[in-house]
């Protein structure tokens, strides 16, 4: 859809949707809060003893990072004001998130894993 009006005109509000409003906010905050005990549990146990926990931590970090960067893109590079740069940045972020998720999965399955790497760096 082609936006109507100029960059200084008011934007029409979208229809209210609980899945895009408060549920979205609750999911972001719940994920952020869950990362604290998840990170502690991942470091208390070793990744080789519990690889599922290592995978959940890696996926949670990728999703948490994506949500944060996505909010910055939505807030500062809105497609109505930046019709070319906004969508390019959004799709670049999506591609980077998928690439990062694949990389974390490969690292967790074919190498020492995320928590073992951080533990080694921490004690180095």
- Which amino acids are annotated as binding site for a ubiquinone, given as ranges? 76
Positions at the binding site for heme b: 64
Positions at the binding site: 64, 76
**Whole-number Å distance between alpha carbons of 86 and 7:** 14
Question: Nearest CA to 57 among 1, 117, 123, 16?
Answer: 117
**Whole-number Å distance between alpha carbons of 81 and 121:** 43
Q: What is the largest CA-CA distance in the chain?
A: 59
**Whole-number Å distance between alpha carbons of 15 and 76:** 22
């Amino acid at each position: 859809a082609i936006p109507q009006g100029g960059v200084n005109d008011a934007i029409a509000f979208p229809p209210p949707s609980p899945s895009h409003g408060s549920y979205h906010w609750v999911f972001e905050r719940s994920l952020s809060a869950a990362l604290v005990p998840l990170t502690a549990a991942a470091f208390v146990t070793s990744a080789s003893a519990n690889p599922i926990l290592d995978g959940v931590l890696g996926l949670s970090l990728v999703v948490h990072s994506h949500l944060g960067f996505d909010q910055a893109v939505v807030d500062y590079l809105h497609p109505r004001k930046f019709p070319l740069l906004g969508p390019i940045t959004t799709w670049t972020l999506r591609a980077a998130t998928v690439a990062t998720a694949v990389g974390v999965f490969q690292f967790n399955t074919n190498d020492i894993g995320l928590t073992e790497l951080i533990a080694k760096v921490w004690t180095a």
